[in-house]
Structure 1
Amino acid sequence: MTFPFDAVLVLSYGGPRQPEDVLPFMRNATRGRGIPDERLLEVSEHYLMFGGASPINERNDELMDALRAELSRRGVDVPVVIGNRNWDPYVTDALAQLAAGGARRVVVLATSAYASYSSCRQYREDLAAALADTGLEFDLVKVGPFAETDGFVAANADAVRDALAELPGARVLFVSHSIPTAMDAASGPGGDNTYSAQHRRVAQAVASEVGLADDAWEMAWCSRSGAPHIPWLEPDVNDRLAELAADGVSSVVTVPYGFVNDHMEVVYDLDTEARATASGLGLGYVRAATVGVHPAFIGMLAVALTDPQPGSVGGLATCHATCCLLGRPGAPVLPTACAAD
């Protein structure tokens, strides 16, 4: 097939690879927020529990291997490289690598499925900053948020079925990364709570595909951080587990449908913290798989990468100049995102 790009650039959050990386990584991830090292060291313990290495690095390697294989199967053989926001290889490193190989027109995929400042627009800012820092010239086309695609829904539905096979009759909690309510309000082309609305639609679509009754599932959130007086999306998964136990629910399946793969917010917040909460409450507990390299998910990504037209994925017709605008209003943003702007 004819592929209109020279390469694929995967954008991700990044994560430490060894214990000595953890504090510098945490400083990168919280830059500009004035958080003291004392607090960062507390959060660093989450990573040190896993040997100081984030699982996101290995999982992203698996994702890129699967993408290469699927693209090759479709007749597309181009470099697939990764650039991270907070740890090496950084976005600037990835662009330099692509430029050295002669790539100029590049399709970009962020490892975030939903629309918000931190999950989409900030990656556009990262790209704009990297271009400015390196002075390199690229034609970059970013695939839009893809949570509402059939492939993403199908992969999550299979994960729910497998988890319920282990724990039949369990209450299903669809869990995603919480964000400040102000960020949610600003998400989407019109600043219309697109982030939480997408989550509701995806949870409903997965529940419908699995055949869950309306009273058999609900949504919860995890990974809240920041000042306690700032409102974030709720309920927190641990709080909800306590409420369900008090209501007589005996077992719960958590579904990390807000995450593409098993990184720290999954292996700590759900596999460690929420599991411990459930155990203390006497609840049966199973965590469903993330979409990872599920064939339906990888197949959807391959289609999105080969034909990233406006509106082709994610239900967003385009990323406008003010789409998901929050944080640094004056920050440059990639002018060509979601295929058009």
Structure 2
Amino acid sequence: MGGMARYDALLVVSFGGPEKPEDVMPFLENVVRGRGVPRERLLEVEAHYQGVGGVSPINQQCRDLITALRPEVDLPIYWGNRNWHPFLADTLQKMAADGVTRAAAFITAAYSSYSSCRQYLDDIAQARAKVPGAPEIVRLRHYFDHPGFIAAMIDHTREALDRLPEEDRDHARLVFTAHSIPVSMAASSGPSGGAYEAQLRAAASLVAGDRPWDLVWQSRSGPPQVPWLEPDVCDHLATLHAAGTEAVVLVPIGFVSDHMEVVYDLDTEAAGVARDLGMRLTRAATAGTHPRFVSMVRELLEEPEPLPCAATCCPAPRPRGAS
């Protein structure tokens, strides 16, 4: 059996986000449960959401992606989130009631790590355990180097370069950003370790071509005593400015939609730093609903079924103090 015929539905699996002000803190508490994130950090992030009306862009972006997918994918499409409505268990309940028995899962995270892969798989398994008759779920492969994703990011990077003054375009520095994670999580990512950063560097290199580029990090949220990937994007902008760089294009290669962390950490914080430094800065859009990214999902469905990850791949972080 080949292509989409192996599946009777597509499940879009995403992070989730609040859609009204009173959702924000319960959503954040779901996100960080068991991670030891300081309350002060939660309140800080809550203020970011409340500053834009308490609504994350991510849920609407999932709706937009599903709308774009419908003409491409000859399957019923469902949507479930890890951290907010529609929760995965609720979606699987509906899928079971509709008679779905085997679905492909497209996860809106392209890379290997606990937080961008294994945690999604664990949450799917936990949701299935709550639903009698839940369908089998097959995760589509990682797509960080898929030509559709890369083509979308190349187009968006070119568009961002074109928004700079003409005299800046040839020498503007490309600065690729991704979500920072604990150093230990990065080291254990993928089947043999180190996959998260290696995959990001591979994707950035494909998008950049022969232009000079850097990979930096954003959105750190863990306790200060735990080492996370560095440098932070704002610190890196200061370093580039000190070295004489005058124009930068930020490329959020680690994300597939312009959700809250992209909008706040790049469009507000990093843009503010660049403005204070006197640097010209633009930001490339994420893949979003770019036609090549949308068609990529159909192409993934048509590929041979991926082998499941080994149980030891991208392990959960060990609790602090564990030996």
Instruction: Select the residue among 39, 45, 48 that pairs with 1:46.
Output: 48
Q: Which residue is equivalent to 2:121?
A: 124
CA deviation after TM superposition for structure 1 residue 37, in Å: 4.7
CA deviation after TM superposition for structure 1 residue 327, in Å: 2.8
Q: 1:119 and 1:144 mapped to 2: Cα distance?
A: 12
CA deviation after TM superposition for structure 1 residue 3, in Å: 2.2
Q: Which residue is equivalent to 2:16?
A: 14
1:220·1:236 contact (CA, 8 Å) conserved in 2?
A: yes
Q: Which residue is equivalent to 1:231?
A: 227
- Kindly provide the amino acid, as one letter, of the partner of residue 43 in structure 1: V
2:11·2:106 contact (CA, 8 Å) conserved in 1?
A: yes
CA deviation after TM superposition for structure 1 residue 2, in Å: 5.8
CA deviation after TM superposition for structure 1 residue 42, in Å: 2.2
Instruction: Select the residue among 298, 305, 326 that pairs with 2:316.
Output: 326
- Kindly provide the amino acid, as one letter, of the partner of residue 139 in structure 1: E
SS at match of 1:3: helix
1:185 matches 2:187: yes
Q: 1:69 and 1:164 mapped to 2: Cα distance?
A: 31
Any stretches of 5+ residues in structure 2 without a counterpart? Answer: none
Q: 1:328 and 1:139 mapped to 2: Cα distance?
A: 29
CA deviation after TM superposition for structure 1 residue 305, in Å: 2.0
Post-superposition Cα deviations, 1:299-325, rounded to whole Å, max 9, x if no partner, equal 111110233523xxxxxx651111111
Q: Which residue is equivalent to 2:106?
A: 109
Instruction: Select the residue among 285, 295, 320 that pairs with 1:299.
Output: 295
1:174·1:256 contact (CA, 8 Å) conserved in 2?
A: yes
Q: Which residue is equivalent to 1:29?
A: 31
Q: 1:128 and 1:328 mapped to 2: Cα distance?
A: 20
CA deviation after TM superposition for structure 1 residue 54, in Å: 0.2
- Kindly provide the amino acid, as one letter, of the partner of residue 63 in structure 1: L
CA deviation after TM superposition for structure 1 residue 251, in Å: 1.1
CA deviation after TM superposition for structure 1 residue 91, in Å: 0.3
CA deviation after TM superposition for structure 1 residue 136, in Å: 2.9
Post-superposition Cα deviations, 1:167-207, rounded to whole Å, max 9, x if no partner, equal 213111011111111111110012x2000000111111111
Q: 1:263 and 1:218 mapped to 2: Cα distance?
A: 22
- Kindly provide the amino acid, as one letter, of the partner of residue 79 in structure 1: P
Instruction: Select the residue among 60, 83, 88 that pairs with 1:86.
Output: 83
Q: Which residue is equivalent to 1:4?
A: 6
Post-superposition Cα deviations, 1:275-312, rounded to whole Å, max 9, x if no partner, equal 001001111010011111111111111110233523xx
Change in Cα spacing, 1:219 to 1:34, as seen in structure 2 (3 Å) is: closer
Q: 1:56 and 1:4 mapped to 2: Cα distance?
A: 29
Change in Cα spacing, 1:172 to 1:303, as seen in structure 2 (3 Å) is: same
- Kindly provide the amino acid, as one letter, of the partner of residue 231 in structure 1: P
1:96 matches 2:101: no
Q: 1:230 and 1:64 mapped to 2: Cα distance?
A: 37
Q: 1:246 and 1:221 mapped to 2: Cα distance?
A: 19
SS at match of 2:30: helix
Post-superposition Cα deviations, 1:209-247, rounded to whole Å, max 9, x if no partner, equal xx42xxx21111101111112111111100000011111
- Kindly provide the amino acid, as one letter, of the partner of residue 187 in structure 1: S
Instruction: Select the residue among 237, 242, 266 that pairs with 2:238.
Output: 242
How does the TM-score come out when normalised to structure 1? 0.88
Change in Cα spacing, 1:3 to 1:328, as seen in structure 2 (3 Å) is: farther
Q: 2:304 and 2:93 mapped to 1: Cα distance?
A: 23
- Kindly provide the amino acid, as one letter, of the partner of residue 140 in structure 2: V
Supply the RMSD in Å over aligned alpha carbons: 1.6
Alignment of 1:266-277 (within 5 A): 266-277=262-273
Q: Which residue is equivalent to 1:335?
A: none
Displaced runs of 4 or more, over 6 A: none
How does the TM-score come out when normalised to structure 2? 0.93
CA deviation after TM superposition for structure 1 residue 34, in Å: 4.3
Q: 1:271 and 1:252 mapped to 2: Cα distance?
A: 13
Q: 1:4 and 1:35 mapped to 2: Cα distance?
A: 41
Q: Which residue is equivalent to 1:336?
A: none
1:143·1:308 contact (CA, 8 Å) conserved in 2?
A: no
- How many positions carry a matched residue from both structures? 312
Q: Which residue is equivalent to 1:314?
A: none
Q: Which residue is equivalent to 2:152?
A: 155
Between 1:121-130 and 1:38-47, the stretch displaced more is 38-47
CA deviation after TM superposition for structure 1 residue 132, in Å: 1.3
CA deviation after TM superposition for structure 1 residue 21, in Å: 0.3
- Kindly provide the amino acid, as one letter, of the partner of residue 325 in structure 1: P
- Kindly provide the amino acid, as one letter, of the partner of residue 84 in structure 1: N
CA deviation after TM superposition for structure 1 residue 140, in Å: 1.4
2:179·2:218 contact (CA, 8 Å) conserved in 1?
A: yes
SS at match of 1:108: strand
Q: Which residue is equivalent to 1:138?
A: 135
Any stretches of 5+ residues in structure 1 without a counterpart? Answer: 311-316, 330-341
Q: 1:39 and 1:274 mapped to 2: Cα distance?
A: 18
